[in-house]
Amino acid sequence: MSQQTLIEMKGISKSFVGNKVLNEVNFEIRASEVHALLGENGAGKSTLMKILTGIYERDEGEVFVKGDPVHFQNTKDSEEAGIAVIHQELNIIPYLTVMENMFLGREIKFGKTGFLNTKKMIQLTKEYLGQLGVEIDPLVNAGNLSVGQQQMVEIAKALSVNAEVIVMDEPTAALTDREIERLFEVIERLREQGVGIVYISHRMEEIFKICNRVSVLRDGEYIGTRVIGEVEYDELISMLVGRELGTLFPERDVDVGDVRLKVEGLTSDVFRNINFEVKQGEILGVAGLMGAGRSEIMQALFGYREIESGNIFIDGKKAKIKKPIDAIKSGIGFVTEDRKEEGLVLSMSVRENFTLPNLDDVSKQTVISSQKENEFVDDMVGRFNVKTSGREQEVKSLSGGNQQKIVIGKWLGINPKILILDEPTRGVDVGAKKEIYQIMNELTAQGVSIIMISSELPEVLGMSDRILVIHEGQIGGELNRDEADQEKIMYAATGGE
């Protein structure tokens, strides 16, 4: 390959308050390539990209754009140099419209007046969204979109810059297969037009599907760069985690017991007539397109969303669930889809997050016993192999995968009969993913029933005993482990189209 080198980063180092997160990292992007940046949670991928785009100041190293040394002070500078970013964290402003979000910071004005040319912006918004094949009203508030739709808006926003380099930091974490396909088409088109793309993802199959080269970071160190097609999956994994990992999905060999949970005719404003069962020790996978209403069903089951009608039975007895506390008392734990907004108290420590739902068990007459609490937390940290400097570390400073382990672990204190996992491995690296799967297996072996919502079909197929497919708020089909494959799920999820 002899394409032009668009960006070169050399010997980049960066520390946050004494904590070195990047150590002499090299990275290069050429025209017409999709360059994957791979690494475990906390390896420093996002930090490297934030240095590139002027959000963070680098401590050491040099950055060249087409051979010229540059030093961006803010995102405006980098944008002017032709670099656009889709950030890992959604940067949608909920009470602004889609159009307003698209042009935030780059509003189109009437000349130099400071007055907005709204018409023009609406028209362009439609155009860019159209390129992605999504139809979203430019005047609707972005907060009313589902997470996936918001992600599409962010992608459209990056496209609208007409950049030479586009950084995509986990763009597919919130998308389902259909949108991902669209995105890949767009990426391919951009690549053909000579755009250089940095692609960050924890989904290995995507890397092999669309990337040309891959660079790997581990603990802030630059491990190496390989050309896709010249590198084996296993080699990449061991570059990534520093050891052999083996198969991703562990063997499932569980005796499924009696019916534990039975849901009858559950109906609300976003879903209708939902019926299903989960047995002891069973993993029920729940698949569906983005916005199908899977999360909403589980929220209702957990007492976090009002229902219009329907009944819930646990171990054959009717359960009255009006609030989350009722669900918890009935033995249900709920690992929510958005760990930062709904799962964790980021300002609290590992210890405090672990014991939040079951404080009563580690206290006497409402006085918390430090000893009991510490024992429980140490046990959990060990069991889940949480990488932390200690139980007093703020969870905010943990990597995504380790945060996710805590969100799951905090429910074990209530000795759940049923555990609902909503996108349990979203944004989690392969190593941690495998650990989470193993934990799921251990739990089901102890008789816990698991409901797992996932938009990653390999995960649904790899882990579920049975698969429920939701289509537009209704059950679109139910598949057994043996009969299920990607096509059948997609068929049911799209309502048989």
Partner 1 sequence: MRGQSLGQIMQKLGPVIGLLAIVIVLSIMSPQFLSLDNLLTMLRQVTIIALLAFGMTFVILTGGIDLSVGSTLALAGALTAGMMASGIDPILAVLLGVLAGAVMGAFNGVIIAKGKVAPFIATLATMTIFRGLTLVYTDGRPVTGFTDSQAFDLIGRGYLFGIPIPVIMMFVIFFILLLILKKTVFGRHVYAIGGNEEASILSGIKVNRVKIGVYSLTGALAALAGIILTSRLGSASPNAGFTYELDAIAAVVLGGTSLAGGRGWIFGTLIGALIIGVLNNGLNLLGVSSNYQQIVKGAVILLAVLLDRQKSS
Interacting residue ranges for partner 1, rule: CB under 8 A: 17, 55, 74-76, 79, 85, 87, 89, 91-97, 100, 104-107, 109, 114-116, 137, 139-141, 144, 302, 304, 323-325, 327-329, 334, 336, 341-349, 352, 356-357, 359-360, 363, 366-368, 389-393, 410
Transcribe 140-182 into DSSP letters. SBGGGS-HHHHHHHHHHHHHTT--SEEEEESTTTT--HHHHHH
Tokens of 157: 């926003």
Can residue 288 be called a binding residue for ligand ATP (CB under 6 A)?
Answer: yes
Phi/psi for 301 (5° steps) reads -60, -30
* 349 contact, one of Mg ion, partner 1, ligand ATP, none, CB 5-8 Å limit per kind: partner 1
* 156 contact, one of ligand ATP, Mg ion, partner 1, none, CB 5-8 Å limit per kind: none
d(CA 315, CA 280): 9
Question: Looking at this protein, which amino acid is placed at residue 14?
Answer: K
d(CA 325, CA 329): 6
* 359 contact, one of Mg ion, partner 1, ligand ATP, none, CB 5-8 Å limit per kind: partner 1
d(CA 41, CA 57): 21
Closer to ligand ATP at the Cβ: 224 or 257? 224
Question: Looking at this protein, which amino acid is placed at residue 463?
Answer: M
Residue 343 beta carbon to partner 1: minimum distance, rounded to whole angstroms: 6
d(CA 476, CA 179): 19
H or E stretch including 353? Answer: helix 350-354
Question: Which 45-84 residues touch ligand ATP, going by CB under 6 A?
Answer: 45-47
- Exactly one of 23, 78, 215, 295 binds Mg ion (CB under 5 A); which one? 295
* 87 contact, one of Mg ion, partner 1, ligand ATP, none, CB 5-8 Å limit per kind: partner 1
d(CA 15, CA 18): 6
Residue 385 beta carbon to partner 1: minimum distance, rounded to whole angstroms: 19
Can residue 46 be called a binding residue for Mg ion (CB under 5 A)?
Answer: yes
The bridge status of strand 283-288 relative to strand 466-471 is parallel
Residue 393 beta carbon to partner 1: minimum distance, rounded to whole angstroms: 6
Residue for token digits 């938009």? Answer: 455
- Exactly one of 41, 101, 201, 330 binds ligand ATP (CB under 6 A); which one? 41
- Exactly one of 32, 146, 393, 474 binds ligand ATP (CB under 6 A); which one? 146
Residue for token digits 């950030």? Answer: 87
Can residue 44 be called a binding residue for ligand ATP (CB under 6 A)?
Answer: yes
d(CA 31, CA 434): 35
Question: Which 254-283 residues touch ligand ATP, going by CB under 6 A?
Answer: 270
* 105 contact, one of partner 1, ligand ATP, Mg ion, none, CB 5-8 Å limit per kind: partner 1
| Of 97, 98, 119, the residue nearest 108 (C-alpha) | 119
CB of 220 closer than 8 Å to CB of 20? yes
Closer to ligand ATP at the Cβ: 152 or 362? 152
Give me the residues that bind Mg ion (CB under 5 A), please.
46, 88, 295, 337
